[in-house]
């Protein structure tokens, strides 16, 4: 894998201007005015169970305490259909009077607004934040606003939930990386390898992001849709290895099972995702959008991934699974993806079996040079009604050369975590 060719990508965003801010606020004001002609209005919570949100964590605790049935927790955000399955069966829980989370049917067209949320953050010394989605908390005052609308009709559902933020982006001492110009703001250790700015320039920094927006179909055992919403892969509730809400989501399409499919020995739940990744203004990559050479890999990138979990028959609240995430350049012909990209999640696990892409060694290798893989294995056990939960995850960057490589060096380019909780 060529690190300087494929830096960590940031999602494509829209430049926030005063006009866009005004339009967003006006649209949110309109959303606050219900119209009975649009169908049944259900305000409060059910359409705000985003990946990594407080409401999602709340449903997780209710499940552990026995308020809902066992359900895998390793691929989020949940669909409206899945939230119905996770919804408590009664009103005997602390937030019952505040949020519309009870289990019920949906006989006709429904719409609701995503309640406007304003966030204010202050960092006195340096940028700091975590699991806050698209918001970047620079030094000084950062303010954010989110609102939107959702609708549901039969097997179809949609949500428009953009988020806007503005950071004062005050100055602070940067780690000197030896670069000048815009790259002086780049990563302090690897400024020409990855796209991870220390600071977004000298001026206040603002963005309007599509946020937790998506259109989807859930029915007949399958799910499919287009989305910019955050995803969370794996059972952790703080530090996922592959995907979480520590940054904004990105544009993607997805296909998979609507719910865990019965395969007799247990149930299997899976999802296949393809997406488009972009970069910040402080990325070391310049030149054309698409792949030209290893020296000019292109500013636009393609993402492909798969995640799946298995729940063995008769094991209450137990799940085991894994995920693979690939990112690489877009096709040199100018297409968003190629046939090669589509099959990335299904490619061989070992690098020695992958195609040779260069006659000479590049950064010590000649195989699978155009993309990078991150993969993880995870396990979770949370018996419903026990108030107990334990989970762990093992993640690895790039392919192992072969089986011997995994056995002798399982800690190479890897990370591990585990946690036990009792409620």
DSSP readout, 45-107?
SGGG--TT-HHHHHHHHHHHTTSS-----SEESPPHHHHHHHS-SSS-STTTTTS--S-----
Is 382 buried (19+), middle (13-18) or exposed (0-12) by CB count in 10 A?
buried
Predicted local distance difference test score (pLDDT) of residue 354: 81
- Within 10 angstroms of residue 130's Cβ, the number of other Cβ atoms is 10
Nearest partner of 83 among 131, 31, 150, 161, judged by Cα: 150
DSSP readout, 238-283?
S--SS--SSS----EEEEEESSPEE-SSEEEEEEEEEEEEB--TT-
Q: Band of the pLDDT at 6, cuts 50, 70, 90?
A: very low
Can you read off the two tokens belonging to residue 172? 């602070």
Look up the pTM and report it. 0.86
Predicted local distance difference test score (pLDDT) of residue 331: 80
Nearest partner of 239 among 318, 378, 131, 397, judged by Cα: 131
Predicted local distance difference test score (pLDDT) of residue 403: 84
Can you read off the two tokens belonging to residue 347? 């490619």
Please answer whether residues 73 and 61 qualify as being in contact, where contact means their C-beta atoms are separated by less than 8 angstroms.
no
pLDDT digits (tens, 9 = 90+) for 68-121: 888 999 999 999 999 999 988 888 888 888 888 887 788 889 998 899 999 999
pLDDT digits (tens, 9 = 90+) for 335-364: 767 777 888 898 888 888 887 777 676 666
Distance CA 246, CA 130 (A): 5
pLDDT at 283 over 90: yes
Can you read off the two tokens belonging to residue 302? 């393609």
Interior CA angle at 231 toward 201 and 303, to 5°?
70
Predicted local distance difference test score (pLDDT) of residue 80: 94
What's the chain's length in residues? 423
DSSP readout, 350-380?
BGGGSPB--SS-BTTB-BS-S-EEEEEEEEE
Mean pLDDT of 220-234: 97
Interior CA angle at 123 toward 120 and 125, to 5°?
170
Distance CA 369, CA 173 (A): 36
Tell me which DSSP letter residue 220 carries: T
pLDDT digits (tens, 9 = 90+) for 180-213: 999 999 999 999 989 999 999 999 999 999 999 9
β-strand partners of 205: 167
β-strand partners of 154: none
Can you read off the two tokens belonging to residue 346? 């299904």
pLDDT at 26 over 70: no
Predicted local distance difference test score (pLDDT) of residue 415: 87
pLDDT at 15 over 80: no
Rounded to the nearest integer, the mean pLDDT of the chain is: 86
β-strand partners of 367: 356
Mean pLDDT of 268-291: 92
pLDDT at 8 over 50: no
Cis? peptide before 77, omega within 30° of 0: yes
Distance CA 373, CA 354 (A): 13
**Residue that has been written with the tokens 């830096």 in this structure:** 7
What DSSP element (H or E) covers 342? helix 339-342
pLDDT digits (tens, 9 = 90+) for 292-305: 888 888 898 899 99
Q: Band of the pLDDT at 3, cuts 50, 70, 90?
A: very low
Predicted local distance difference test score (pLDDT) of residue 5: 36
Buried b or exposed e, range 71-103, using 16+ CB within 10 angstroms: bbbbbbbbbbbbbbbbbbeeeebebeeebebee
Predicted local distance difference test score (pLDDT) of residue 101: 85
Of residues 319 and 68, more confidently modeled: 319
pLDDT at 21 over 60: no
Of residues 177 and 408, more confidently modeled: 177
Nearest partner of 5 among 321, 327, 253, 324, judged by Cα: 327
Of residues 366 and 407, more confidently modeled: 407
pLDDT at 4 over 50: no
Predicted local distance difference test score (pLDDT) of residue 255: 97
Of residues 337 and 142, more confidently modeled: 142
CATH class of the region 14-422: mainly beta
β-strand partners of 219: 222
């Amino acid at each position: 894998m060529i690190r300087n060719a494929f830096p960590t990508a940031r999602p494509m965003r829209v430049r926030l201007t005063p006009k866009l801010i005004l339009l967003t606020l006006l649209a949110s004001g309109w959303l606050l005015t219900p119209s009975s002609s649009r169908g049944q209005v259900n305000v409060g919570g059910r359409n705000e169970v985003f990946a990594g949100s407080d409401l999602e964590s709340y449903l997780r605790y209710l499940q552990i305490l026995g308020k809902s049935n066992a359900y895998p927790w390793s691929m989020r955000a949940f669909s409206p259909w899945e939230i119905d399955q996770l919804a408590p069966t009664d009103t005997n829980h602390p937030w019952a009077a505040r949020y519309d989370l009870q289990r019920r049917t949906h006989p006709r067209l429904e719409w609701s607004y995503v309640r406007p949320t304003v966030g204010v953050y202050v960092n006195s010394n340096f940028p700091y934040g975590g699991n806050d989605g698209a918001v970047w908390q620079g030094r000084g005052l950062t303010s954010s606003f989110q609102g939107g609308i959702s609708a549901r009709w039969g097997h179809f559902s949609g949500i428009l939930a953009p988020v806007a933020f503005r950071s004062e982006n005050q100055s602070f001492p940067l780690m000197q990386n030896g670069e000048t110009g815009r790259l002086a703001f780049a990563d302090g250790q690897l400024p020409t390898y990855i796209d991870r700015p220390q600071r977004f320039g000298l001026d206040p920094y603002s963005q309007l992001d599509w946020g937790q927006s998506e259109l989807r179909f859930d029915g007949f055992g399958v799910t499919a849709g287009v989305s910019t919403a955050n995803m969370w892969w794996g059972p952790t509730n703080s530090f996922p290895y592959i995907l979480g809400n520590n940054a904004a989501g990105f544009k993607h399409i997805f296909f998979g099972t609507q719910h865990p499919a019965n395969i007799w020995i247990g149930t299997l739940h899976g999802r296949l995702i393809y997406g488009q990744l972009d970069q910040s203004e402080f990325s070391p990559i310049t030149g054309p959008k698409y792949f030209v050479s290893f020296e000019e890999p292109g500013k636009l990138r393609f993402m492909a991934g798969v995640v799946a979990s298995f729940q063995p028959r008769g094991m209450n609240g137990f799940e085991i699974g894994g995920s693979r995430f690939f990112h690489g350049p877009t096709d040199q012909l100018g297409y968003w993806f190629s046939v090669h990209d589509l099959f990335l999640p299904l490619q061989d696990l070992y690098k020695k079996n992958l195609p040779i892409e260069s006659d000479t060694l590049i950064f010590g290798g000649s195989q699978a040079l155009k993309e990078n893989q991150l993969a993880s294995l995870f396990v979770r056990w949370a018996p419903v009604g026990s108030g107990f939960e334990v989970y762990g995850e093992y993640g690895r960057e790039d392919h192992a050369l072969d089986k011997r490589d995994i056995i002798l060096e399982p800690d190479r380019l890897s990370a591990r975590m585990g946690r036990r909780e009792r409620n």
